[in-house]
Structures are given as structure tokens and as C-alpha cells.
């Protein structure tokens, strides 16, 4: 910014000067975008690894959900709908459903087979 303010009057704010400044600004913006995106991707991976570890450490947790990042969009949509349905059930029914779901042979979410979710 200081360079722009200092050099502008010297070159008379010519069209070429503006083109160079705009090009430089655009390149810097794209570089910052890539750095931020890379940082965000690394952060997301770290959070996923931590959540996977928590799932594996909790007794009775549905560890099949640790692979949710590798599921298709359709399978994720079905999981989301299943969890919304669980959220709408009364607490007593929810406990029965969650007790049934934690067994190895039970589906992850009612109405979705374990194989479809994996």
C-alpha cells in the first residue's frame, strides 16, 4: 500500500502503472487464497482424526461413522435424514433406538443398512 502511494505520483498514475499494480494485487490475492485453503484443509483433517480417535475410544460408539468422510453424497444425506428422525423421537424411544444401533450387526441409523452407510 505504501509502495502504491509512493510510486503513484512519480509515474503520474499512468494506465501501465495501474495495470502493474492490479496484476500484482491479483497474484497476491490468489496466493493468499491458496495458503488459506491449504491451512483450512489441514485443520479439517486434524479435526477429523481427533474425532475418529474419540469415536474409537468411547465404549459403545458407532465407529463406522469414522469413515463418513469417504461416503457418497447419497449415503451422507441418508445418514443426515436418519439423525434428524432420531432427533424428532421422544427421549424414551431414542434410548431404545440407540441401544439397538450400538450392536455390531445393527444399522448405523434406523432404516439404513450398515453396508449402505459404509
For residue 96, is pLDDT > 60? no
pLDDT, tens digit, 9 for 90 and up, residues 28-61: 999 999 999 999 999 999 998 898 889 888 888 8
Q: What is the 3-state secondary structure (H, E, C) of the chain?
A: CHHHHHHHHHHCCCHHHHHHHHHHHHHHHHHHHHHHHHHHHHHHHHHHHHHHHHHHHCCCCCHHHHHHHHCCHHHHHHHHHHHHHHHHCCHHHHHHHHHHHCCCCCCCECCECHHHHC
User: Structure pTM?
Assistant: 0.51
Pick from 69, 78, 61, 72: nearest CA to 112 = 78
Amino acid at each position: 500500500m505504501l509502495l502504491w502511494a509512493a510510486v503513484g505520483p512519480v509515474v503520474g498514475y499512468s494506465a501501465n502503472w495501474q495495470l502493474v499494480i492490479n496484476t500484482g494485487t491479483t497474484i497476491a490475492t490468489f496466493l493468499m487464497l491458496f495458503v488459506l485453503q491449504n491451512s483450512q484443509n489441514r485443520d479439517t483433517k486434524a479435526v477429523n482424526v481427533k474425532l475418529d480417535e474419540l469415536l474409537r475410544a468411547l465404549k459403545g460408539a458407532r465407529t463406522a461413522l469414522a469413515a463418513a468422510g469417504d461416503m457418497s453424497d447419497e449415503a451422507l444425506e441418508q445418514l443426515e435424514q436418519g439423525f434428524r428422525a432420531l432427533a424428532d423421537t421422544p427421549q424414551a424411544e431414542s434410548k431404545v433406538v440407540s441401544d439397538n444401533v450400538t450392536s455390531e450387526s445393527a444399522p448405523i441409523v434406523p432404516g439404513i443398512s450398515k453396508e449402505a452407510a459404509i
